[in-house]
């Protein structure tokens, strides 16, 4: 079955705009499949999946939503239903890419549908809110959001150009995927976490693994990075982990801006895949510009990483708690696991002569891990700092051993 562009949105209020996009994509030689999420009235043209079907997928009915006359409730229901419908279409195997557009409601519905699709599948979302905070919509998926500039209300000189560009983008991505010869790729994929202050370590680990034929994905440990890696682990895409940079735990504990949430470090544990874990960048909590740091931290030690990023040194007490948290999560592991602890420092800033050098904090972190970690989980002590070549080589070699045994 040919890969199709699946268009999702309200065909009652945005019917003309969706018709324009559909026609544009069809002219590129790509088939179109439409899903109607409009509740107010009948669609401008007949969709492949009706709004009634979407409502039913959400456990309600179109008549009930109209009778309730509650816009918020209707949007919530169609958001749920659209995700269910897309999951069904994906299972049928013909979805080549996804397209949505609208204001806050249309963006919410379209984004939810795209969240149901795997990473790597083309996703384009034209939105009136794409110039603001897009994290609630994009999350950890590869959604392309295009700012509509003007409201999506008719086809005019400007909207014609913007919607054409969006249609060409999706059509081109689908065509490209169809045209490229799918390479037989039997490489095992490894997930890795990195920060600027752990880059030398992760780079050496990555190069060592790649030299042995492994495919590596490096995630920037900024909250969404950790979440993205863990989602790909749960999806079965990642088969091993070098979790060098666990700094997101510090932001979750202290209240920084790069928290990956309370479930960080749990996906690999639950999946039972081989993993080597270290304590990279647990010396710091991340904030925005200096004037955004909460007043309660006024007496702490800071380092201005750049004009928009302020780093705060974690305390002895926080490090002890972080060690216990990390070990407690790892204790649930069912697969092979090794923990590597670099006593010489956990980042480029935490070593002799640098701004965050803290032997006392490192010892508290180590003691916290040691006090909780299961006795059968190896805890390897290294004299150097985390970016020492010997530490990098140990992490790489330990993971290779675990992968080969697995």
pLDDT tens-place values along the chain, 406 residues long: 679 999 999 999 999 999 999 999 999 999 999 999 999 999 999 999 999 999 999 999 999 999 998 989 999 999 999 999 999 999 999 999 999 999 999 999 999 999 999 988 999 999 999 998 898 999 889 999 999 998 888 899 899 999 999 999 999 999 988 776 455 467 899 999 999 999 999 999 999 999 999 999 999 999 999 999 999 999 899 999 999 999 999 999 999 999 999 999 999 999 999 999 999 999 999 999 999 999 999 999 999 988 899 999 999 999 999 999 999 999 999 999 999 999 999 999 999 999 999 999 999 999 999 999 999 999 999 999 999 999 999 999 999 999 998 7
CATH 3.40.50.12030 domain extents, the chain: 189-405
CA angle 382, 386, 390 (to 5 degrees): 55
Q: Confirm if 134 and 145 have CB atoms less than 8 A apart.
A: yes
What φ, ψ does residue 34 adopt, rounded to 5°? -115, 140
CATH class name, domain 189-405: alpha beta
- Which of 133, 135, 128 has its CA nearest to residue 152? 128
Choose which CATH entry (3.40.50.620, 1.10.10.10, 3.40.50.300, 3.40.50.12020) describes domain 4-179: 3.40.50.12020
* Chain centre distance of CA 107: 18
Q: Confirm if 51 and 39 have CB atoms less than 8 A apart.
A: yes
CATH 3.40.50.12020 domain extents, the chain: 4-179
Q: Where are the beta strands (DSSP E) in 45-143?
A: 95-102, 123-127
d(CA 78, CA 56): 9
d(CA 221, CA 124): 25
d(CA 95, CA 375): 48
């Amino acid at each position: 079955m040919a890969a199709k562009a699946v268009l999702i949105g309200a065909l009652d209020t945005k019917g003309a705009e969706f018709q324009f996009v559909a026609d544009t994509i069809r002219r590129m030689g790509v088939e179109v499949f439409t899903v109607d999420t409009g509740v107010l009235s009948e669609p401008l043209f007949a969709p492949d999946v009706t709004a009634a079907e979407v409502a039913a997928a959400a456990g309600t009915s179109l008549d009930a939503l109209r009778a309730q006359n509650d816009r918020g409730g209707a949007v919530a229901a169609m958001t749920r239903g659209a995700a269910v419908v897309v999951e069904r279409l994906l299972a049928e195997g013909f979805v080549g890419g996804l397209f949505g557009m609208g204001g806050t409601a249309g963006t919410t519905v379209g984004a939810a549908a795209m969240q149901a699709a795997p990473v790597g599948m083309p996703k384009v979302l034209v939105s009136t809110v794409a110039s603001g905070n897009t994290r609630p919509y994009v999350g950890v998926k590869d959604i392309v959001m295009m700012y509509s500039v003007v409201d999506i209300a008719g086809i005019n000189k400007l909207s014609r150009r913007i919607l054409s560009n969006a249609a060409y983008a999706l059509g081109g991505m689908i065509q490209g995927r169809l045209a490229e010869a799918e390479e037989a790729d039997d490489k095992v994929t490894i997930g890795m976490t990195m920060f600027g202050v752990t880059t030398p370590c992760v780079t050496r680990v990555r190069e060592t693994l790649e030299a042995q034929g492994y495919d590596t994905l490096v995630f920037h440990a900024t909250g969404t990075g950790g979440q993205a890696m863990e989602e790909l682990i749960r999806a079965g895409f990642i088969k091993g982990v070098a979790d060098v940079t666990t700094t997101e735990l510090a932001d979750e504990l202290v209240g920084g801006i790069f928290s990956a949430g309370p479930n960080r470090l749990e996906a690999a544990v639950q999946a039972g895949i081989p993993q080597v874990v270290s304590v990279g960048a647990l010396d710091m909590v991340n904030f925005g510009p200096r004037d955004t740091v909460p007043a309660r931290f006024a007496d702490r030690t800071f380092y201005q990483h750049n004009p928009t990023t302020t780093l705060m040194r974690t305390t002895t007490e926080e490090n002890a708690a972080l060690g216990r948290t990390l070990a407690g999560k790892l204790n649930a592991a069912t697969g092979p696991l090794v923990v590597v602890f670099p006593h010489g420092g956990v980042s480029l800033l935490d070593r002799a002569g640098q701004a965050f050098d803290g032997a006392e904090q490192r010892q508290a972190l180590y003691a916290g891990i040691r006090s909780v970690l299961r006795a059968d989980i190896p805890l390897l002590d290294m004299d150097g700092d985390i970016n020492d070549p010997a530490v990098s080589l140990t992490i790489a070699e330990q993971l290779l051993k675990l992968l080969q045994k697995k």
